[in-house]
Structure 1
């Protein structure tokens, strides 16, 4: 009797694990079915109007990518909470433009709609944030003005004036939403280190070789005060290099491909997109 009781007690954790596995599997299946339904729904006319009037890059997309982006937007808005800060009111324009710019990065990538966080905090304009840096044994605290930031395993924070400017000007190579959500792709691979999850295992070696070489070039240009199509902020760290080149890839594809063809090819394989083709898509 005692032996039977021990076996029973030992089996409880196993039964719990089995139950959790099947419940989790069921939740994943339900989530995927819901995503399929959302992607199949037509985009509300007011959302489409926002994209057409405020996001010129959307108009350059081929029709099939426009449809795909519309589906991703519906899922993104269902799964993420966009919250105003400093009395900023969240309306359809805010929600759609943030979703559209974020979802452009995952348009063709296999993945899970930026897992690991849910909240996006939006300030009306550039905001002041606390910062800490370490110099030897000293921890130096201060403040800095920011247009956006991405907390590791935490929220994305955005300044609306920069979000709107990034959406309206899709050729200047600066886009705060793309930048911060590139960090979210980067952290899916355990740490923000400039190495996102790549579509195939075979890509990692070449990615590492090209990105390391190009990052070293950017650091030297930064030290020499030399301009480049890639903003100099990308030279501050591998994580920032990935985020800055992402902005350049989507907004200045021809210039990036001309000056850094190997880098452009790596990002084309990473995102499974070729933005330099889009300018002629509607002609």
Structure 2
């Protein structure tokens, strides 16, 4: 009986996805590509590393257009993907497995129907796209400067969280104790104000792309929340407060000392 128990335990272990150990040199190389993580509390940085290992074991990366993402690309993407769910858990990303990586920008075919019922087809340059119920599609640049300030991974994984409500509309499923009424009131007001500023061609710290629709506003605000927290807190303090409650993190409180 003991031998059978040991055999079953070993068999179950073989069925579980193994967590790849991340070499320290590779972890540091990826961490250095993400300067906004400098100052993250030590305990959170350790938890992020453990979650990243789990994420890499669960998700399947594939390249496109003849490109195959290397270990640095996969790890850098995985760290950023885990950041929004650090306090929420990887169960938020269940139900899909694929991450498709392009070598730079890619083109997405679009179809729209105008008010007269005429269908128009066009192509749109993109850095990322999150498919509802499907994979996340991302671009990768060897030089971080080529992203021109965009944080596409955080952006697309914010969309994944938004989609948990049944569709990306800027209203993700809220936690117990959070008010949907207050969320909608404050996000609607901030979005209207932001669109007005963009229409007036004001310079904004938030990417003007956030004015596209409420879902993009939520995703872009998520980018800024993690990468330039104080800017979001200054511009829209109520939005910052809601995102603190939603992500269960407070990046504006991080110090400026690297704690990886």
Fold shared, TM-score > 0.5 on shorter chain: yes
Shift of 1:224: 1.7
Equivalenced residues, count:
246
DSSP 3-state at the match of 2:111: strand
User: 1:173 touches 1:248 (CA, 8 Å); kept in 2?
Assistant: no
Q: Which has the higher contact order (CA 8 A, sep 6+)?
A: 2
> Which among 64, 74, 80 is matched to residue 43 of structure 2?
64
Partner of 2:67: 88
User: 1:76 touches 1:113 (CA, 8 Å); kept in 2?
Assistant: no
Matches within 5 A, 1:1-283: 38=19, 43-110=22-89, 112-136=91-115, 137-161=117-141, 165=144, 174-280=150-256, 282=258
DSSP 3-state at the match of 1:279: coil
Superimposed CA distance per residue, residues 185-217 of structure 1 (whole angstroms, 9 cap, x where no aligned partner): 000111101011222243322211111111111
DSSP 3-state at the match of 1:229: coil
> Rg: which structure is higher?
1
When normalised by structure 2's length, the TM-score is 0.85
User: 1:129 touches 1:143 (CA, 8 Å); kept in 2?
Assistant: yes
The answer to which of 50-59 and 73-82 deviates more is 50-59
Provide the C-alpha distance between the structure 2 equivalents of 1:278 and 1:261, rounded to a whole number of angstroms: 17
User: 1:222 touches 1:235 (CA, 8 Å); kept in 2?
Assistant: yes
User: 1:109 touches 1:199 (CA, 8 Å); kept in 2?
Assistant: no
When normalised by structure 1's length, the TM-score is 0.79
Superimposed CA distance per residue, residues 212-253 of structure 1 (whole angstroms, 9 cap, x where no aligned partner): 111111121122222222221111111101001001111111
User: 1:150 touches 1:156 (CA, 8 Å); kept in 2?
Assistant: yes
Shift of 1:174: 2.4
Query: Which one has the bigger helix percentage?
Result: 1
